[in-house]
Amino acid sequence: MRLSLGEAEVCLTAEGLEEAPGGVRLVGREVRVFPPFRSQRFFRHGWQSWSLAAWVDLAQAPTPLLPEARRPQADDPFLLETGAWWGSGLGALKGPDGKVLLLGALDVGARVLGREDLLLGRYSGEGRGWFLAYGEEEEVFSAYARLLPERRSGRPPRVWCSWYSFYTGIGEDLLLKVLDEVAAFPFEVFQVDDGWQRALGDWEPNERFPRGMAYLAQRVREKGLRAGIWLAPFLVTADSSLLRERPDWLLRDGDGRPVRAGFNWGKPLYALDAGNEEVLEWVESLVRKALAWGYDYLKLDFLYAAALPGAEGEARYRRALTRLREAAKEAYLLFCGAPILASLGLADGLRVGPDVAPYWDNEDRSFWLADPTGPGLRNALRTTWHRLWLSENVHVDPDVAYFRTRFNLL
């Protein structure tokens, strides 16, 4: 069928359509949109927080990220392995006049292919809704965002996070010393990051926190601050008691093998099965435990593990994170390493780019491994910039800002 979108007349295939503010709604498990121009630029939207979101050159084929073991924590593996420009949930083509033709999913589990003469949207699950718009870039992305779920609770809090000062080298004595210093600045949250737990999957304090996490949270509150803590609730490693005791909780592929969730901390990562009721009850109890300790700001990391293998797992992810959201009550939830569109309406804050770092780019990783998701200012700025259109739906988190002259290559 032919459709007039303001100044542009497009051809498309869909099961149905209706008017929507700023564009039209389309219906179909698969839709095809043929623009009235040949485009050289495609807006490629990555799957989760760290995944590349940027305008890319359609004349250059995507380079597969190496090694394969890291792909699950970089993006929807399908997007990295097809040899074509696919995006997660949405895609857009830029015309010769600079205006944009955007196709965006209104349900979870979608991918969009971009070619010079085509936008192809396809659902992996039961979704059928799409939004199509043409116009100035800011206007069409804003119109799309208004149709997506939102959750905003005033302004985002000012947070001090232990990660970028100490990484995993934290302990009770060190953090109490830092707490005295942080309290002199206008922060509202003191957040303990990775390094407090016994292992990924064993969410109890290690030997460097002899008086426990409730004691530390109490000391934080005595300074007039909210206490925050880091969790990766759907991630587990082989050295954890949880994996040894409950191997049946692992997400497995069609051949019964554990699904790899990436590689980090010098070891393989595995995913818990977010479709397993016992796993969900365990995650709910973990969240309630953190609240009982006194933490009402939760940084939830590596959440993509609950949605593997990619778009096909987003409906499962959405159900699991809805349960987690309900268990957390009014605690502030920062989602990180999270499928972007599937997290809207559940997260208070959402990381929208890779980690920052005290250098511009790790050229070995970006060039030799073709990895645009690694820590570095270049990667963080690029992907964050291309997700600011979500700021009306959620607190967009570009990662931290820090100021120092030591250990700084910028």
Give me the active site residues, please.
Answer: 301, 355
H/E run at residue 122 = strand 118-123
CA angle 339, 52, 63 (to 5 degrees): 120
Distance CA(164)–CA(359), nearest Å, equals 13
Instruction: Give the type of residue at 257.
Output: R
CB 390 within 8 A of CB 335: no
CB 308 within 8 A of CB 75: no
CA angle 364, 366, 369 (to 5 degrees): 75
Distance CA(142)–CA(339), nearest Å, equals 20
CA neighbours closer than 13 Å in the CB half-sphere of residue 40 = 3
Q: At what angle do helices 314-328 and 277-293 cross, to 10 degrees?
A: 30
Distance CA(375)–CA(360), nearest Å, equals 9
CB 45 within 8 A of CB 56: no
> Which value, to the nearest 10 degrees, does the dihedral of the CA atoms of residues 366, 372, 377, 378 take?
80
CB 269 within 8 A of CB 302: yes
C-alpha to C-alpha distances, 358 to 51, 144, 159, 160, 161, nearest whole angstrom: 20, 35, 19, 17, 16
Six-digit token string for 80: 């990295």
Distance CA(308)–CA(234), nearest Å, equals 11
Q: What is the DSSP secondary structure assignment for residue 140, as one 8-state letter? A: H
Nearest CA to 190 out of 285, 299, 292 is that of 299
CB 380 within 8 A of CB 355: yes
Nearest CA to 34 out of 144, 132, 127 is that of 132
CB 262 within 8 A of CB 73: yes
